[in-house]
A and B are shown apart, each in its own frame.
Chain A
Amino acid sequence: MRSLSIAATGMQAQQTNVEVISNNIANMTTTGFKRQRAEFQDLLYQNMRRVGSNSSDAGTIVPTGIQIGAGVKTAAVYRINEQGNITTTGNSLDLAINGNGFFQVTLPSGQIAYTRAGSFSLNANSQVVTSDGYLLNPGFTLPQNAVDISVDASGQVQAKIDGQVNPAIVGQLTLANFPNAAGLEAIGDNLLLETPASGQPVTAVPGSTGFGRITQNALETSNVNVVTEITNLIQAQRAYEMNSRVVTTTDQMLQSITNMK
């Protein structure tokens, strides 16, 4: 009975679906989180009667063949890079990207990671770091006696230094963009890595063509929509139940065979 294994593929696929949805819901309030979606594809087909084959010497052809599918597989779990909402926090080192692009962060290994989560803070050397202490790249160091810091939409960082009239320019932020941002590899901690699928990063100052702008004192919330996720969850659960019904039905059919006299 093929239907047993077909239903098993269906249950596995729906399990993946529930896992993806629960991860979305769990990260509902994670800064810069992008929701994911599981995509399914039908598996191979077995030709029992090939469509279009001849059914007689007179050249008549089979109008509809028999192709029995082998179930379903998870084709992809991809990130939907839709803009999240921007919420103001009042913290001067909270930066939100309004549009495309990623902040670049130097990992302890020296590798560059990419993030949309702009909740930065200062470390002991007055350098700008992520909440895990990784340096922003290109970063900036706040002067000793700076009282205020402002970041404009195009990423220029100015500091108001005590005793000086004009604010001093202390840095310029850049954003990285990818041909296929959905192809980045997530490594947790809101960080993403470049892959062959994502393509090479292109960096530019915020606000240039194709790049987003910076909003200071604000953060980008996750783009998870709870209502959609819950309805997807219900759908996935029902689909799971239906597949388990197929298993039960197949089992009952097998049972009636074993009970054969």
Chain B
Amino acid sequence: MENPIYVALSRQEALSRQLDVVANNIANMNTTGYKQQRMLFQEYLEKPARGERVSFVQDYGLMRDTRAGALQVTNNTLDLALKGDGYFTVETLSGPRYTRAGNFQLNDRREIVDQNGLPVLDTNDNRITVPDGTTDLKIQGDGTVMADRAQLGKLKIVSFDDQQQMQTLGGGLMTTTQTPRPSANPQLTQGAVEASNVQAIVESTVMIDVLRQYQMTQKLVDEEHDRIRNAITHLAKAQ
């Protein structure tokens, strides 16, 4: 008898988690290399009795929108934006991690590092050290790093078969159990970063939608509550 309330509750729980995802998208509106996320829902069928079917809602997955974000020109030599697919590889103590955030810097040993201070790797899994006294640092479209026309190495830009299988770790980093393969045709732009691909308008409308649906479900719970109360009073009278 209380099933409608539980069905509504399943929807409300899912909606509240969906708002968390939307809030995270909006909070990361200006985060370099951030990819917006979407909640996926499915019907969850329960058969409490023979011939009876109650369908609940379940959020079964989160999808990352892997489209490239807009290019934001910074004119900073070590700001790199990836167009199309591919990830930069950085070195951590627990193995390689992948990132789209190409706002790199030099550390005190003149190695190219990301914003977390993790060294960026080249195709031979070595760190890239920019020699002292370099006046002209160019990073070509395919990831080749040139210091005063001498080649220092090539950035390791990798692709994966299934990007949705990658796990986000925060700090723009991602990890996966899949084996990376070299990106077939990487396209790098120097002096720009990839802005987040969150679309403010879409997020706003999703947010309004979530709110209204939440309130509607609330209404349903309220009505259901009234119905049960009515039933109890009327049935009690009939006795």
Q: In this assembly, does A40 line the interface, its C-beta being within 8 Å of a C-beta of chain B? A: yes
Question: Assuming the A-B contacts A256-B215, A260-B222, are A250 and B19 also in contact, with contact meaning beta carbons closer than 8 angstroms in the complex?
Answer: yes
Q: In this assembly, does B82 line the interface, its C-beta being within 8 Å of a C-beta of chain A? A: no
Chain A neighbourhood of B164, CB < 8 A:
51, 63-64
Q: How far is the CB of B8 from chain A (nearest CB, A)?
A: 11
| Cβ-defined contact, A40 with B207, below 8 A | no
| Complex CA–CA separation, A238 to B207 (angstroms) | 16
Q: Which of B162, B167, B170 counts the most A-chain CB atoms under 10 A from its CB?
A: B170
Tell which of B88-96, B101-109, B119-127, B181-189 binds the partner: B101-109
Q: In this assembly, does A235 line the interface, its C-beta being within 8 Å of a C-beta of chain B? A: yes
| Cβ-defined contact, B24 with A71, below 8 A | yes
Q: How far is the CB of A10 from chain B (nearest CB, A)?
A: 3
Residues facing B in A50-69 (CB within 8 A) are: 50-52, 62-69
| Cβ-defined contact, A199 with B109, below 8 A | yes
Q: How far is the CB of B122 from chain A (nearest CB, A)?
A: 19
B136 (CB) vs chain A CBs: closest residue: A210
Q: In this assembly, does A198 line the interface, its C-beta being within 8 Å of a C-beta of chain B? A: yes
Q: In this assembly, does B203 line the interface, its C-beta being within 8 Å of a C-beta of chain A? A: yes
Q: In this assembly, does A188 line the interface, its C-beta being within 8 Å of a C-beta of chain B? A: no
B135 is contacted by which of A69, A99, A198 (Cβ under 8 Å)?
A: A99
Tell which of B43-51, B59-67, B150-158, B231-239 binds the partner: B59-67
| Cβ-defined contact, A257 with B218, below 8 A | yes
Residues facing B in A146-170 (CB within 8 A) are: none
| Cβ-defined contact, A41 with B171, below 8 A | yes
Please classify the interface of chain B as helix (H, G, I), strand (E, B), loop, or mixed, using the class held by over half of its residues. Answer: mixed
| Cβ-defined contact, A9 with B76, below 8 A | no
A41 is contacted by which of B172, B207, B208, B215 (Cβ under 8 Å)?
A: B172
Question: Assuming the A-B contacts A44-B170, A249-B210, are A197 and B19 also in contact, with contact meaning beta carbons closer than 8 angstroms in the complex?
Answer: no
| Cβ-defined contact, B27 with A183, below 8 A | no
Chain A neighbourhood of B106, CB < 8 A:
179-180, 182
| Complex CA–CA separation, A179 to B105 (angstroms) | 10
Q: In this assembly, does B115 line the interface, its C-beta being within 8 Å of a C-beta of chain A? A: yes
Residues facing A in B27-59 (CB within 8 A) are: 27-32, 34, 37, 39-40, 59
B208 (CB) vs chain A CBs: closest residue: A249
Tell which of A76-84, A86-94, A118-126 binds the partner: A76-84
The number of residue pairs between A and B whose CB atoms lie closer than 8 Å in the complex comes to 214
Q: How far is the CB of A214 from chain B (nearest CB, A)?
A: 16
B221 (CB) vs chain A CBs: closest residue: A260
Q: Which of A63, A78, A200 counts the most B-chain CB atoms under 10 A from its CB?
A: A63
Chain A neighbourhood of B40, CB < 8 A:
64
Chain A neighbourhood of B170, CB < 8 A:
41-45, 69-70
Residues facing A in B134-174 (CB within 8 A) are: 134-135, 162, 164-172
| Complex CA–CA separation, A68 to B24 (angstroms) | 8
B22 is contacted by which of A9, A198, A246 (Cβ under 8 Å)?
A: A246
Q: Could you list some 25 contacts between A and B, CB below 8 A?
A: A1-B20, A6-B23, A7-B23, A37-B76, A42-B168, A44-B169, A47-B167, A48-B17, A52-B176, A63-B164, A64-B164, A65-B62, A65-B167, A67-B62, A69-B168, A71-B28, A75-B115, A80-B75, A180-B110, A245-B204, A245-B207, A246-B19, A246-B207, A249-B208, A259-B218
- Which residues of chain B have a CB within 8 Å of any CB of chain A? 15-17, 19-24, 26-32, 34, 37, 39-40, 59-63, 74-76, 101, 103, 105-110, 115-116, 132-135, 162, 164-172, 176-177, 200, 203-204, 207-208, 210-211, 214-215, 218, 221-222, 225-226
Sample of 7 further A-B pairs with CB below 8 A, known A3-B20, A3-B22, A67-B168: A3-B19, A41-B172, A42-B28, A68-B24, A69-B28, A242-B26, A242-B200
- Which residues of chain A have a CB within 8 Å of any CB of chain B? 1-3, 6-7, 9-10, 13-14, 17, 37, 39-45, 47-52, 62-72, 75-76, 78, 80, 82, 99-100, 179-180, 182-183, 196-200, 202, 209-210, 235-236, 238-239, 242-243, 245-246, 249-250, 252-253, 256-257, 259-261
